[in-house]
Chain A
């Protein structure tokens, strides 16, 4: 039993998209730009030449935020979306009725329809693949060339992620919504 989370040193991201590819390969996510469990958001440079604001350009890796108070889990009429023993937000495809309420309710746009099962899919921290094999890293973390991602147990004070969150300033996306995400962006 753990409480898994992820810290992202997002300023190190070079938008190589290796994480997106690794995620699709590891978890068998279907091809297509709209079918992704994780993605890198690109904020383009603002201003007009020669007054370009280089600092405005950022790469923001994102995915399901595995909220502790997950709106997608609350709105699910059949409890198909649930917290597993590691507080990872997951989808039981047998119970999913594809009402799409979770897709509308998720503030992070982190869900999509898997055309094979016609159910909603999302990041599950590689629970079905790497974690099930006893590994302690996710595919996106493992492949990242600039070590943007740190995955680990938030309840373990000696884990790398706990140490990072103790020593580095960080923020969460849309924190004002009270969803308590378990993805932390290091500044």
Chain B
């Protein structure tokens, strides 16, 4: 049994890469810029962690009224990216769309990398991550959406790794089985993440079926954005015809997905505001006036949609830049989700003297939170870069 496992592991095609090979890349201005940014982000991660280990949760600007902050938003950002990449990767190797086979391996590897970055960030957001690992098993809270989300994401990561191994080995049959299972578990995990907010009866702005379904839609959209970004870097924006065909297909799909998203958001806002329901309509009106919401709409929805509709997605280079804008917008989308759910104080009376009656809950991330969040991005890029060295992420012929 052990010998078989050993044989299985040794037969995984991995390039022999030394430290010298890792640091060896074409010294173009673009590559140098990305390298400097990545090292800078990793340095911020280290500094952020140092502050966290010195001051614990006091290094964060979270409060009693706003206990979830930037790090949770960034965790959601990464796991949404992971689920999205899993969907994109599955188009080829699970659902058999031949045009999308060429991105399968890259997307599945990306999904592993992004969820690992997400786990790295959430590990310092959760107060006691080791206790979590122990009591998640010993005393599972089966009525808790967080329990289901975390457990399913753990299983999802395992399935993604196994799928990736079979993709590397070229065993498409087993890759398909693990890919389909991983996709289903990932979708379940992701909609459970939506239900973490959807189950909040105390927060009418978040409560309901919207988030569990909207999370799947926005994951798909995020996956398409990242697909453009990683393919853009892979081919240095000079796409071969086969890649162009795939990206045009993805762009058309993205136009449909973004249209549905805009439709969903519009109706959510209408239903939130209509009738003036307490604790919901005034929050929705407040959200409409916030610059972060406007950034989300412009960067993640309007700019990419306009660029796709201009020539029905036939300009992958433009779509690459639109996808960068889209990912910044998706970040704001996650931040808004977390912040806006906590905008309205649950207790509207004064509790101390010389205090104004509560109005909106304010939150500005601390420097430590920002450094760890940016560091998560650095981790993600660094792991992906290492992956391109260790594995052949292109389609096998």
Say whether A and B bind each other: yes
User: Of B194-202, B323-331, B371-379, which binds chain A?
Assistant: B194-202
Is B276 close to A, CB under 8 A? no
A98 touches B351 (CB 8 A): no
Give per-residue flags for B92-108: 1 if the beta carbon is below 8 A from chain A beta carbons, else 0.
Answer: 00000000000000000
B residues 236-273 with Cβ under 8 Å of A? none
In the complex, which residues of chain B have a beta carbon less than 8 angstroms from the beta carbon of A41?
A: 347, 349-351
B residues 63-108 with Cβ under 8 Å of A? 63-65, 67-68
- Known contacts being A77-B141, A109-B345, A118-B56, is A99 close to B127, with CB within 8 Å? yes
Residue in B57, B58, B140, B347 whose beta carbon sits within 8 Å of that of A109 in the complex: B347
B201 touches A177 (CB 8 A): yes
Is B334 close to A, CB under 8 A? no
Is B28 close to A, CB under 8 A? no
In the bound complex, how far is the Cα of B65 from the Cα of A33, in angstroms? Answer: 13
Residue in B128, B136, B139, B341 whose beta carbon sits within 8 Å of that of A98 in the complex: B128
User: Of B19-27, B143-151, B166-174, which binds chain A?
Assistant: B143-151
A119 touches B127 (CB 8 A): yes
Residue in A79, A118, A179 whose beta carbon sits within 8 Å of that of B135 in the complex: A79
Is B357 close to A, CB under 8 A? yes
In the bound complex, how far is the Cα of B315 from the Cα of A134, in angstroms? Answer: 77
Q: How large is the interface on A (under 10, 10 to 19, 20 to 34, 35 or more residues)?
A: 35 or more
Q: How many residues of B contact A (CB 8 A)?
A: 42
In the complex, which residues of chain A have a beta carbon less than 8 angstroms from the beta carbon of B147?
A: 77-78
Nearest CB of chain A from residue B108's CB, rounded to whole Å: 28
- Known contacts being A71-B201, A107-B346, A118-B57, is A79 close to B146, with CB within 8 Å? no
In the complex, which residues of chain A have a beta carbon less than 8 angstroms from the beta carbon of B346?
A: 106-109
Give per-residue flags for A53-70: 1 if the beta carbon is below 8 A from chain B beta carbons, else 0.
Answer: 000000010100000000
In the bound complex, how far is the Cα of B200 from the Cα of A104, in angstroms? Answer: 8
Closest to B197 in A: A104
Residue in B63, B132, B341 whose beta carbon sits within 8 Å of that of A97 in the complex: B132
A100 touches B141 (CB 8 A): no
In the complex, which residues of chain B have a beta carbon less than 8 angstroms from the beta carbon of A115?
A: 58
In the complex, which residues of chain A have a beta carbon less than 8 angstroms from the beta carbon of B57?
A: 98, 113, 118
Residue in A79, A94, A112, A118 whose beta carbon sits within 8 Å of that of B64 in the complex: A112
In the bound complex, how far is the Cα of B141 from the Cα of A96, in angstroms? Answer: 12
In the bound complex, how far is the Cα of B320 from the Cα of A95, in angstroms? Answer: 46
Residues of A within 8 A of B (CB): 33-34, 36, 39-44, 60, 62, 71, 74-80, 94-101, 103-109, 111-113, 115, 118-119, 174, 177-179
**Interface CB pairs A-B, < 8 A, 12:** A41-B351, A60-B349, A71-B202, A75-B143, A79-B139, A95-B139, A96-B131, A97-B131, A101-B196, A107-B201, A113-B64, A119-B128
* Beyond A76-B144, A104-B67, 12 additional pairs, beta carbon < 8 A: A39-B351, A43-B350, A75-B144, A78-B139, A79-B135, A97-B128, A101-B144, A104-B68, A109-B347, A111-B64, A118-B127, A177-B201
Residues of B within 8 A of A (CB): 56-58, 62-65, 67-68, 126-129, 131-132, 135-136, 139-141, 143-147, 150, 196, 199-203, 341-342, 345-347, 349-352, 357
Going nearest first, the 5 A-B pairs with the smallest beta carbon separation are: A98-B127, A41-B349, A107-B202, A78-B135, A100-B67
